[in-house]
Chains A and B, each alone.
Chain A
C-alpha cells in the first residue's frame, strides 16, 4: 500500500504542473490585451512577484556593494596608490573576480602594506609570512610556487631562474606553464627584456618592480600582483609570472598562446546559402565572430567565471537596448548561482540552467553558427558561450526556433516557406509513422486501399513475428546503425551507416524477419528525423517514437491521439526562461509570421512579442526605403 502510494506520488510528480516562481524566474505577459491589463492593475500581481524577485536578486549577489565598501579604506601612499588602482581597474575589466577573492585581496593588502617596509629576518619571514602573499625573499616565493604546483613532480610548470641586468644585478625567476603559453612571446617579451634590455638603463629609479614594469617589460599586458591566488590563476591561463628578489610583488606578463583549432566550416548545421564559418573552442574568437556580425557598441559581453576547479569563462552576450532586463537578470542569476566543480562543455552548462530536466523537449538551443546567434541576439535573445565549447547556447528558445534553419531566412520567402513545410511534414513523420503504421495494420485496416492492404498482408504472411515485434526489431536495429555509424572510428564510419542499412534491410526481408513495407517505413522515419535540424529535438522525437509505437499497437488511433494529447500538454506547459515553449502559436502572440510560413524580410516589423523586448520594433513599417508607399494594411498601434 505504502509502495503504491509512493508510486503514485512519483507518478504525480512527473505530471504535476507546479508553478514554481523561483524556478521559472519570471512570468512574461503573453498577449497584448493581457499586458494592457497588467499595466492597469500592476500593483496587484506581477509587480509583487517582480519585487520579490528583485529582493531575492539583491540578497543573492551583494557583491558590488561589498566590493566598493571594502576598497575604499585602502591606504597606499604616493605614486603607488594611483598605480595600484590603475592596475586594479584594468584587472577588473579583464577578469571580473568573484567577491570572496576580492574581499580577501583587499583585506590582505591592508596587512601587507603596513608591514611592507620593515626588513625581516629569514626566520621571521618563514614564520610570519602569510603563505598567500608574495614574499620579498625569492627563495620563499620559489618554495611556495614549488609547493603550489608540486614541482618537480608536475612537469607542466617550469621555473626559469635568471638575473636581471640592472645595477646591482637582481636575481629573479619566471614561472610559466608549458602548453598554455607561447614560447616565443616568453623569450622575446619576458626573458630577452629582463636579461638583455634591462641594462640599457641599469640604474633603478624608485621601486624596482615599477621600474621593471614601466621600462623593461615590453609585453602589452603586464600586471603587478602580490597574492599567489591571482598569480596562480594567471599562470594557469598561460601567463608568465616573474618574481624578483626583494620585491613582495610579482609581475604577471600575458603570454597566452596554445594550440587551437582555427575557424572551420559548420559541421552539424550546414547551409547552402550563407556564411560558412563556425565557432571554435576559443571563447575570444567566438565572441569576435558574433561581434563581426553585430558591430554595435550596444552589444554587451558579460563574463562570469564558472567552476570551482576549472575556472572557465562564460560569456553572456546580448543587445543592451533590446533585451528584456528581467530575462537578462534571470539568465545571470542562474549562471552565477552555479556551484559546481567544473563544467566541461556547454552541453553540461545547458543541463544546469534548464528548468525541467525530465521534460522530453530541449529548452535551450545550442548552435555552432555565429550568424544564427547574431540573428537571435538581434531579435532580443541572449547567447551564452562557454570557453572551450564550440557551441553557443541561445535562450529563450521555442520549438519553432529549433525547427528553423538559417537557410529559411537566407533564401527567398517562397523557398524558405517550402523548406519549412517540408520540415513540418518531416517533424510529424519522424515520430508518428511507425505508430500509425501499427495502428492501421492492427486496427484500421480499412484505411489502406485494398490492393495495398493485400500486398502488405501478403508480405507479412511469411513473417513469424507480430507486427509490434517486427517494428521494434527494425527500429532498434536502425538506432543501432545510427549509433554505430557515429562511433565507428575513422573512414569506416561514413560507410557503415549506408552499408549496414542496405545489407541489413535486404537480408532481413529475404530472411522473412520483416516485411518490405516496414523497411520503407523505418527508412522514411529515419530520413525525416534527420531532416529535423536541431539535434536535441531529433533525440526527443526518436524517443517519443517508441511511445507511439506502443500506443498505436495497444489502442490504434485512439492510443495515438492519447499520446498526442499528453505530449501536447507536456510541451505547452513547458517554459524556456519564462517563454512558453510553443510560443507564437500557443499562447497566440503577435509574431512576424515566422512560424510555419516565412514572411518576406520587409515584413519583419516587430520582434517576437513573447520576448517582451525593450524595443518592440525591428524595422519601420516601410523597411525598403525605395518603395514609396507601404502596400501593407495599416495595423493597429
Chain B
C-alpha cells in the first residue's frame, strides 16, 4: 500500500517535472527558422529633411528549399525593401509594419553606405554594428557611388541565387584582379581606431544606362593600358548585372573624402602589400602599337624602410612582383634572358611611376596616408603617449616616399618564343 502511494507520488513528480520542462522549452529564447526573416544586405542612405533611409534585402527561404514541390522554386529568392525614419535604428521597427517576420541580422553579408551619408561620417553605423550581437564584424563594408538604395534595389545577381553568395564570390575576384579592396567592418574599424592613416573602403555602384559625360571623357583620355581610370558606376559596358565593384572610397577619419579608380586601387593594394594577384597590361616598349599582358602576383610582403635624414623623414618601399606572360602581341622575343630583364625594368619603371602619381595625388588632394605607413612608423616610437599624440598626416605630407618595384617574370607560359608568320609582302 505504502509502496503504491509512493509510486503514484513519483509518477506525479515526474509528470510535473516534464510539464515544467515542456513549458520552459520555447520561451527561453529559442527562435524557429520560420519566425525569422534573414537580412542579407543593408544599405544606409541620407534622405531629405534629416531623415535616414535604410534598405534591406531579405532572403526568401522558400526559394532555397529543394523539395516540397509547388510554389517554392519559382518565387524570387530575395526581396529588397526600404524605409525612411529619423533614425536608422528606428527603421528596424518600421519594417515590421509590413513584414511578417522578425528581422535577423546574423547572416547579413554586406553593409552598403551611400556616398552622401559617407561624406557625413560613418562611425556611428559601424560602432552600432560592432556592439550588436547579431551583426557580424566580418561582414563586408562598401561605399556606394550614388545611393545605397539604388544599388540594393538594382543589384540582380545573374549566376547566384542570393546577394550573399554573390558578394562572397565577387570578393574572391578582388584577389584575382585587385581593382577594389575587400573591407570588412572590423578592418575598417581597425584602421579607423588603431591607426592614424586614412581608412579606405571598397567602392560599388550601379551602372548608368545613359552615357555619362565623365565616362566619355575618360574613354577619350585613356591611352595607357596600364591605367584603368574607371570607378564603380562608370565602367563602359553593356549587359550583365547592374551592380559594379571597382574603385576605392578614401576616408579621412570617418568621413569620405575621395575616390580612387581601378588602377589606383591596385597600386594602393600593391603598396599596402595586400594585392594578391593582377593582370597587368602595358605598351610594348619596342612597339608602340602592341601590348603586353603579364599576370603578376605579389611575391612577398613589401619591404619598408623608414629613414630619418637631414632633410626630413624618408620612406623607401620595395615591392616585389612575379608572374608569367599572358600575351606578347608583337611577337618580340621577350622570353630571352636579356630582353626579359629589359622588359621587367621597363615595367617596373611604369609601376613606380604610377605609384608616385598616386602618392602625389593623395598629398595634393589632402587624403592623408592611405597606405598605412604609420604602422611601420610605430617602431620609431617609444611610448604609447607619443603614438597617441602623433600628427601623422602632417608628417606624411612632408615625407618623401620612394617606391622601388622589382619585377620578375618567371615563366613564359606555354611558348618558348614567338616565331614570325611567313608574310608575303616581306619578301
Contact = CB atoms under 8 A, between A and B. Distances in A.
Given A550-B21, A554-B28, A445 B64 contact: no
A518 B45 CA distance: 41
B26 A450 contact: no
A451 B26 contact: no
A461 B34 contact: yes
Contact of B9 (A6, A442, A445): A6
Interface of B: 9-10, 13, 21, 24-26, 28-34, 36, 38, 40, 59, 61-68, 72, 104, 106-107, 109, 134, 136, 161-162, 164-165
Given A445-B36, A458-B61, 11 more contacts: A3-B9, A445-B104, A450-B109, A451-B162, A454-B59, A457-B64, A458-B72, A461-B34, A462-B68, A554-B21, A554-B25
A512 interface: yes
A496 interface: no
Interface of A: 3, 6-7, 10, 441-443, 445-446, 450-451, 453-462, 466-468, 509-510, 512, 516, 550, 553-556
A462 B72 CA distance: 10
A454 B39 CA distance: 11
Given A7-B13, A459-B65, A446 B134 contact: yes
B25 A454 contact: no
B32 A461 contact: no
Given A446-B106, A453-B107, A454-B59, A466 B66 contact: no
Contacts of B62: 458, 461
B64 A455 contact: yes
B61 A457 contact: yes
23 contacts: A3-B9, A7-B13, A441-B32, A442-B30, A443-B30, A446-B107, A450-B38, A450-B40, A450-B162, A453-B33, A455-B64, A456-B33, A457-B38, A457-B61, A458-B61, A458-B72, A460-B32, A461-B65, A461-B72, A516-B67, A550-B25, A554-B21, A555-B28
Contacts of A510: 67
Contacts, number: 99
A5 to B, nearest CB: 12
B30 A556 contact: yes
Contact of A457 (B9, B25, B34, B40): B34
Highest count of chain A CB atoms <10 Å: which of B9, B10, B25, B29: B25
A441 B164 CA distance: 19
Given A3-B9, A466-B26, A554-B25, A442 B31 contact: yes
Nearest to A555: B28
B34 A460 contact: yes
Contacts of A445: 31, 33, 36, 104, 106-107
B31 A459 contact: no
A207 B354 CA distance: 128
B212 to A, nearest CB: 35
A210 B109 CA distance: 101
A484 B9 CA distance: 33
A448 B109 CA distance: 13
A456 B24 CA distance: 25
Contacts of B36: 445, 457
A454 B162 CA distance: 10
Contacts of B30: 442-443, 553-554, 556
Contacts of B63: 458
A455 B34 contact: no
Contacts of B106: 445-446
A550 B21 CA distance: 8
A529 B64 CA distance: 31
A457 B33 contact: yes
B387 to A, nearest CB: 35
Leading 9 A-B pairs by shortest Cβ distance? A458-B65, A442-B30, A446-B106, A457-B33, A457-B61, A458-B64, A454-B64, A458-B61, A459-B65
A454 B67 contact: no
A455 B161 CA distance: 11
A467 B34 CA distance: 10
Contacts of B31: 442-443, 445
Contacts of A459: 65-68
B208 to A, nearest CB: 30
* Most A-side CB within 10 Å, residue of B30, B34, B136, B165: B30
Contacts of B107: 445-446, 450, 453
Contact of B33 (A451, A460, A555): A460
Given A446-B134, A455-B66, A456-B33, A461 B162 contact: no
B132 to A, nearest CB: 12
B33 A441 contact: yes
A87 B137 CA distance: 89
A115 B285 CA distance: 136
A425 B13 CA distance: 37
A442 B59 contact: no
A327 B39 CA distance: 64
Contacts of B28: 554-555
Contacts of B38: 450, 453-454, 457
Contacts of A555: 28
Contacts of B134: 446
Contacts of A441: 32-33
Contacts of B61: 454, 457-458, 461
Nearest to B105: A446
A450 B68 contact: no
Contacts of A451: 64, 161-162, 164-165
B24 A455 contact: no
A450 B67 contact: no
Contacts of A554: 21, 24-25, 28, 30
Contacts of A550: 21, 25
B85 to A, nearest CB: 26
B59 to A, nearest CB: 5
A459 B61 CA distance: 8
A466 B27 CA distance: 13
Contacts of B34: 457, 460-461
Contacts of A462: 65, 68
Contacts of A458: 61-66, 72
A516 B67 CA distance: 8
A301 B102 CA distance: 71
B14 to A, nearest CB: 10
A57 B36 CA distance: 67
Nearest to A443: B30
Contacts of B164: 450-451
Give the residue among A10, A441, A458, A516 with the most B Cβ atoms within 10 A: A458
A7 B14 CA distance: 10
Contacts of A553: 25-26, 30
A459 to B, nearest CB: 5
Contact of A466 (B32, B68, B109, B136): B32
Give the one of A454, A457, A555 with max B CB within 10 A: A454
A550 B164 CA distance: 33
B75 to A, nearest CB: 10
Nearest to A7: B13
Nearest to B24: A554
A202 to B, nearest CB: 69
Contacts of B24: 554
Contacts of B40: 450
B215 to A, nearest CB: 34
A187 to B, nearest CB: 55
A462 B69 CA distance: 10
Nearest to B16: A7
A455 B61 CA distance: 7
Nearest to A456: B33
Contacts of B136: 446
A509 B68 CA distance: 8
A493 B64 CA distance: 38
B180 to A, nearest CB: 22
Contacts of A10: 10
A442 B165 contact: no
Nearest to B31: A442
A467 B72 CA distance: 20
Nearest to A554: B25
